[in-house]
Structure formats: C-alpha cells, structure tokens
Amino acid sequence: MKIGFIGLGIMGKPMSKNLLKAGHEVVVCNRSQASVEELKSCGASAAANGAEVAKVCDVIITMLPNSPQVREVVLGKGGVIETAKPGTTLIDMSSIDPTESKAIGAALAEKGVDMLDAPVSGGEPKAIDGTISVMVGGKRETFDKFYDMLMDMAGSVVYVGELGSGNVAKLANQMIVGINIAALSEALTFAKKAGTDPELVFQAIKGGLAGSTVMNAKAPMMLERNFKPGFRIELHMKDLNNALNAAHAINSPVPFTGQVMEMMQSLKTYGCEKEDHSSLVKYYEKIADTTVEPDVLQ
C-alpha cells in the first residue's frame, strides 16, 4: 500500500518508519527537511506539500500539532484537497478539536474524500516500538479497510464511532489523566503538610481503590523531583483547551477540566510548561508552602 505521511515530529517520524518496516511504500512531507532526509534514507520518497502527496497516494496520514495545522495542510493552499481523487482517504492521527475533525471531514466529503480521525496515546517510546493505542472515528467500513495498516504502527486500534469520536475519546483520556495528576498532587501535598512521609503514603495506597496507572507512573516522578518530560505541560494544555472548546460547543460542563487547565496555566507563568505534567504538583507545593520530596527516599 502506498501511504502518504505528513508530519514527521516526535510521534510521526517513528510511526512512518514502522510503516516502512511493515513493507509499505511511504511518501513523506514535513517542514523540517532533516526529518525528510532521514526517512528517505530508510526508503521513503518525498513530496513538497499535501497536494503533491495526494497526487500519488490514495491514503494519507497527517500527524500534526493541532487543528490549525491540520486545516492548513488539508484544506489550505497546496493542501491535500487540491489534488485528492474521489475515493482517497485521509487519516488524521493528530490530537485536535473533534468539531474541527467534523468540519474538515465535511469539506473533504464534498470532493469524494473520506476521513478518519485517529488520535494516538502512548508517547514517543510506544511510537518507536509500535505499541501506541489508536482511537478511531469515521465510517466503520473505512476503519475495517485500514485496520491492518494502522496495526502496523500500534498495539491497539479501537473503533469509537462516527467522525470526531476518536478525538472525543482522546480528549476524555487527557481530561482523566490531568484530573488524576491533580488529585494525586493534592493528596501527596496534604500528606507531607500533615507530617506523614508521602513516599510511604504512596506505598500504602497504590494497591487499593485509589491506585491507578497514573499514580504508579507519576508519584515516583514527583517524589524524586524528576520532571523530565514524558508528556509536556504545554501539550497537555493544548489538549485541555480543545476539550474545553468542544465541551462548550455542546453545553457540557467540565469544571474539573477547567480548574486543571488554570493550574497548568499558573505553572506556565513560572516557566514550567516544558516539564512533565507531573510537575502539576508544584502548583500545590507553592500554595501549601511545602514540597512532597520525602525526607529519606525509600
């Protein structure tokens, strides 16, 4: 299968490499030519813009930072829509506002082009080893057609519903993760302020109902003061902003999401936006005038 791949960033580059490893012919496009040259050395060919990609590919994947970039690459000057033939499929694997997914899909449909929204979860390590989770919205028959191809990049590919549903699922994931990190930060800060070792509190509760994947991943980072980014605060803010916009568009109140967004905005003013989202604990530490770092790490 000849696949167009637009966007060779932290996630897109290893994902496109996995398609090459699976035996697909891949045509890449990216603003940074260094990444294009790297992919060419792996066997890919290159195109200058979305229109050039669409001339030679019947399926095109986009992996871009946010809604405006997807709209520009797909519908803008030199975009996919200029040359895409009826029957072409666009698979947008970016994490964007689901209302934008629907709008872009509607514009493509007028040209006979189908679309799936298929955002991913898992971060760079899982993109490299091909075990990302993919949440897909669109026509079921289109999902079935490209399921095997998506699995060449992923460990899990799940159909969620109509177009936009993939990004709804991704935003729901980001809402839950952000709120969990905030709750964990609040609890560990409380423990330290109460004079109890937060490391021992973590060990005591992680096996109970409060335990979670988020707790197991983020509590050690908070306790060890390791805020090297696995997922940066600024990226989580982008997702929460999309969640707020999408929720407001359908009159769905999201008070916890709004509060976490403001906590992260506060951290951005302190220059923490490029740190891991576990750095959210710093918000609580500041207002409680303490630190969750245990006196003696266990």
Query: Domain with 95 in it: what CATH number?
Result: 3.40.50.720
CA-to-CA distance for 204 and 201, rounded, in angstroms? 5
158 shares a domain with 172? no
Can you give the residue range of the structural domain that contains 189? 168-288
- Predicted confidence at residue 297, as pLDDT, reads 45
106 exposure class (CB count in 10 Å sphere: 0-12, 13-18, 19+): exposed
**Number of folded domains that form the chain:** 2
Terminal CA-CA length for the chain: 52
Would you state the structure tokens that stand for residue 277, as one six-digit string? 């989202």
CA-to-CA distance for 134 and 95, rounded, in angstroms? 11
* 284 falls within a domain: yes
186 shares a domain with 152? no
CA-to-CA distance for 26 and 23, rounded, in angstroms? 9
- Beta-bridge partners for 156: 133
* 72 falls within a domain: yes
Look up tokens 């460990």; give the residue.
Answer: 155
Give the domain-ending residue among 135, 163, 191: 163
- Number of other CB atoms surrounding residue 13 within 10 Å: 23
* Beta carbons within 8 Å of 98's beta carbon, 6+ residues apart: 117, 137, 164, 165, 166, 167, 168, 171, 242, 246
Would you state the structure tokens that stand for residue 215, as one six-digit string? 């707790």
Q: Which amino acid is at 257?
A: T
Ranges of the chain with pLDDT below 70? 296-298
Q: Is 291:281 a contact under the CB 8 Å cutoff?
A: no
* 293 falls within a domain: no
* 200 falls within a domain: yes
- Is 102 known to be catalytic? no
Give the domain-ending residue among 163, 196, 231: 163
134 shares a domain with 188? no
CA dihedral 93, 94, 98, 99 (to 10 degrees): -120
- Is residue 228 classed as helix, strand or coil in its secondary structure? coil
- Number of other CB atoms surrounding residue 197 within 10 Å: 18
- Predicted confidence at residue 123, as pLDDT, reads 86
73 shares a domain with 143? yes
118 shares a domain with 232? no
273 shares a domain with 188? yes
Length of the chain in terms of residues written: 298
Q: Read off the pTM.
A: 0.92
245 shares a domain with 143? no
Catalytic residue among 126, 170, 192, 282: 170
**Does the CA dihedral 151-154-157-162 come out positive or negative?**
negative
- Predicted confidence at residue 266, as pLDDT, reads 97
Give the domain-ending residue among 163, 185, 211: 163
178 shares a domain with 155? no
172 shares a domain with 148? no
- Predicted confidence at residue 1, as pLDDT, reads 81
185 shares a domain with 152? no
Q: Which amino acid is at 195?
A: G
